[in-house]
């Protein structure tokens, strides 16, 4: 089979693994060009734990892409290629009164609802369902009134719908573990900055005998506080696949993903315990992934 035709054929058959965890992450490499973490999900205040209590978060995402990039960043000519994905993602956070090493102990859980439509060549499919669940624990420190630190680990469970023959799969059909560390600077009248670093260890998809490579992910935001209630600036992510994929014990060469995304971001803080942020991020420098853009909405509010 000609190498260009083989590449197109691989993408058409394996785009199924696109929308994992909380969002339609159809923009990523590894198996099927997907990633189990929804890159760029976090925004202002991501790594500052609130006081002890129970909190709710809701993420909303709309992602669109119509271009695939190969290992050199060149466009892969898949006819009629398009990914359209929408996710509504509830998250429950419990910040306990327990202190460990001077940090507050917290737990969280996420169970997303995803709608994914994929067109590739003459094929098209649309699926809606529950995505892969995330649960984890973290410690949060308040180093000063404006500076906050977070460290933890998340586990991704294969609860999303998956069929090997589907073009648009909501789940990825494997477990993953992700240690993380993050820092937040919050100032209602000054510089606001966030950096959340994550490293993903992917399990094996036993339906395809495929193990996606390890991934380094950084969600970031940078803005300035105005009028005490508003922060305006930019946000996005950096993604780098650090190890090769493997299938049936063999290395999958020239398939490591890479991308950078940036776009405008804004946050409103009510001053009453709830806040909401909105951003759009456009992808660039893409390798072995779909190249598109995402609109993110995030709301946080106390429950108890």
Higher-confidence residue of 165 and 279: namely 279
Q: Which CATH number fits domain 3-302: 2.40.50.100, 3.40.190.10, 2.40.10.10, 2.40.160.40?
A: 2.40.160.40
Stretch 114-132: mean pLDDT: 94
pLDDT at 29: 54
DSSP string, the chain: --HHHHHHHHHHHHGGG---TTS--TT--SGGG--SS-TT---TTTT---SSEEEEEEEEEEEEEEEEB-TTSPBP--TT-EEEEEEEEEEEEEEEEEEETTEEEEEEEE--EEEEEEEETTEEEEEEEE--EEEEEEEEEE-SSSEEEEEEEEEEE--S---TT-SS-S--SS-EEEEEEEEEE--TTSEEEEEEEEEEEE-EETTTTEEPPPEEEEEEEEEEEETTTEEEEEEEEEEEE-S-EEETTEEE-S---EEEEEEEEEEEE-SSS-EEEEEEEEEEEEESSEEEEEEEEEEEEE--
pLDDT in tens, 164-185: 989 899 999 999 999 999 999 9
Q: Is the pLDDT of residue 23 over 50?
A: no
- Whether this prediction's pTM lies above 0.75 is answered by yes
Q: Is the pLDDT of residue 87 over 80?
A: yes
pLDDT in tens, 148-159: 999 999 999 999
pLDDT in tens, 34-79: 689 999 999 999 999 999 999 999 999 999 999 999 999 999 998 9
pLDDT at 2: 42
């Amino acid at each position: 089979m000609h190498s260009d035709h083989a590449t197109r054929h691989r993408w058409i058959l394996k785009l199924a693994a696109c929308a994992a965890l909380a969002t339609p992450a159809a923009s990523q490499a590894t198996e099927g060009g997907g990633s189990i973490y929804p890159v760029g999900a976090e925004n202002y205040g991501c790594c500052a734990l609130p006081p002890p209590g129970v909190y709710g978060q809701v993420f909303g995402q709309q992602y669109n892409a119509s271009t695939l990039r190969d290992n050199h960043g060149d466009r892969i000519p898949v006819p009629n290629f398009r990914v359209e994905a929408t996710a509504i993602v509830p998250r429950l956070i419990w910040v306990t009164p327990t202190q460990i090493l001077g940090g507050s102990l917290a737990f969280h859980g996420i169970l997303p609802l995803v709608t994914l439509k994929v067109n590739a060549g003459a094929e098209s499919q649309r699926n809606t369902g529950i995505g892969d669940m995330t649960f984890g624990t973290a410690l949060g420190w308040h180093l000063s009134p404006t500076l906050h630190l977070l460290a933890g680990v998340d586990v991704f469970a294969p609860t999303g719908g998956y069929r090997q023959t589907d073009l648009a799969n909501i789940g990825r059909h494997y477990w993953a573990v992700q240690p993380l560390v993050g820092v937040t600077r919050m100032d209602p009248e000054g510089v606001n900055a966030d950096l959340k670093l994550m490293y993903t260890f992917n399990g094996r998809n036993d339906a395809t005998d495929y193990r996606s490579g390890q991934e380094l992910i950084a969600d970031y935001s940078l803005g300035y506080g105005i009028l005490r209630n508003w922060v305006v600036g930019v946000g996005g992510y950096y993604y780098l696949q650090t190890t090769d994929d493997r299938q049936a014990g063999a290395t999958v060469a020239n398939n490591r993903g890479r991308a950078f995304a940036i776009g405008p971001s804004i946050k409103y803080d009510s001053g009453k315990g709830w806040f909401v942020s909105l951003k759009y991020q456009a992808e660039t420098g893409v390798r072995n992934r779909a190249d598109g853009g995402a609109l993110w909405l995030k709301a946080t509010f106390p429950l108890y």
